[in-house]
Amino acid sequence: MKVRFYDSVQDVKLRFAVIAVWCRSGWLFVRHRERDTWELPGGHREAGESIDACAQRELLEETGIADARMKRICVYSVEGKTRVNETGEESFGMLYQAEASSFKELPQSEIAEVRCMTALPEALTYPAIQPLLFHMAIKSCLRYELFDGCNPDDSRAVLKQLPEWFGLPDALEEYVQKSREMKTVGCYFKNYMVGFLSLKKTSPKAMEVYVMGILPQLHRMGIGTRLMRMAEQEVEKAAMQYLQVKTLSPKVQDPDYLKTYAFYERMGFCPLEVLPLWDEWNPCQLMVKYIAMKQQPALCKP
C-alpha cells in the first residue's frame, strides 16, 4: 500500500473526498453501521458532482454538519487494493480540513456513531491510509512563533503530558519557571501550544536547548525538526557558533531517552562528553552542533 500527496491533479481523476473536522476540542470520527472501526468522514464522488460539492454532501450525510468552514489541504492518492479499490491502481482524492461548532447523529444514515476524539483511534477502517491523512490535516493547522519568554501555563501543560521525560514535579516546575525568561520557539494548534523549545545562552559563543517538549500524540510529525531548525536560525542570527544540549547518556539504555538521543543525532548533534551533573544513575550526555554561518567574510587577498 502506497499513499502519496500532490498539490494538484486533473479534476476528473478525483474520486474521493475525505474531511478532517475539528469540532470544539477534538476531531470527528465516524463509525458505519456495518463496521466496528472508525474513519474520517468522506466518500465517493457522484457523477456530475464537483469534488467540493462531494465533500459538503458527505460531511452532511455522515455528521449532520451543513455550515462547516472548509478548505482544501491537498490531493492524496492510494495505490493498492482496498475495500473501495479492487484493482489496486492508483486512485485520487481530495483531503479537506473543516471546523464546526457542533454535529448530530442522523437516524436514517449509514453512520451508526459520530465521536469527537483528541487522538487517532486504534481501530481504523483503513489503518494504512487514514493515519497519514490525519497527520497531514493536523500539519495544515500548525503555526510556529518565536518569542521572548514562554508562558508558564503553556509550557507546564505540555511537559505534564511527558512523564517519561519530566516525571519529577520539582524539576518540571524549574523548567517552566526558567523558560519564562528565555527565547522560545513555539508550535501552536489553533490557540493551543502543542510544542516548544527554549534557548539558554551559556557562553559568548554558544546557546543551549534548555528544554524541549511536544505533546505525545503529535510525535513523529516533523514538529521537533521544525522547532530545532528555527532554534538554529536564532543561534545563527545571534552570531553564535555552537548549539548544545544535555540529555541522558545512551549507556543507561532508557528506551525513551534513546529516542531523544537518536533525534539529536539526526539533527546533527555530536556527543562530546559525559558529565557528572546529575547523579551516578543519570549520567549527563553533552551533545554539540556547530552552527555554520551562511555568509562567511571574504578573505583578504595578499
Please name the residue that has the C-alpha cell 474531511: 19
Provide the b/e sequence for 73-96 (b: ≥16 CB within 10 Å).
bebbbbeeeeeeeeeeeebbbbbb
Q: Which CATH superfamily does the domain covering 1-139 fall into?
A: Nucleoside Triphosphate Pyrophosphohydrolase (3.90.79.10)
CA 291 vs. chain centroid, Å, equals 25
What is the pLDDT at residue 236?
Answer: 95
| φ/ψ (deg, to 5) at 145 | -135, 150
The pLDDT tens digits for 158-172 are 999 999 999 999 999
**3.30.70.1520, 1.20.1250.20, 3.40.50.300, 3.40.630.30: CATH of 148-288:** 3.40.630.30
The answer to whether 176 touches 152, Cβ cutoff 8 Å, is yes
Distance CA(35)–CA(41), nearest Å, equals 14
Domain pair 1-139 / 148-288, same fold: no
Q: What is the pTM of this model?
A: 0.80
Q: Where are the domains of the chain?
A: 1-139, 148-288
What is the pLDDT at residue 300?
Answer: 42
Distance CA(56)–CA(42), nearest Å, equals 9
Structural element, H or E, at residue 257: helix 255-266
Beta-bridge partner residues of 92: 14, 77
Q: Average pLDDT of each block of 10 consecutive residues along the chain (302 residues)? A: 95 97 88 95 96 96 89 96 82 95 75 89 94 94 96 97 95 98 95 96 96 92 96 95 97 95 97 91 96 55 42
What is the pLDDT at residue 23?
Answer: 85
In this structure, how many other beta carbons lie within 10 angstroms of the beta carbon of residue 285?
A: 22
Residue 117 corresponds to which amino acid? M
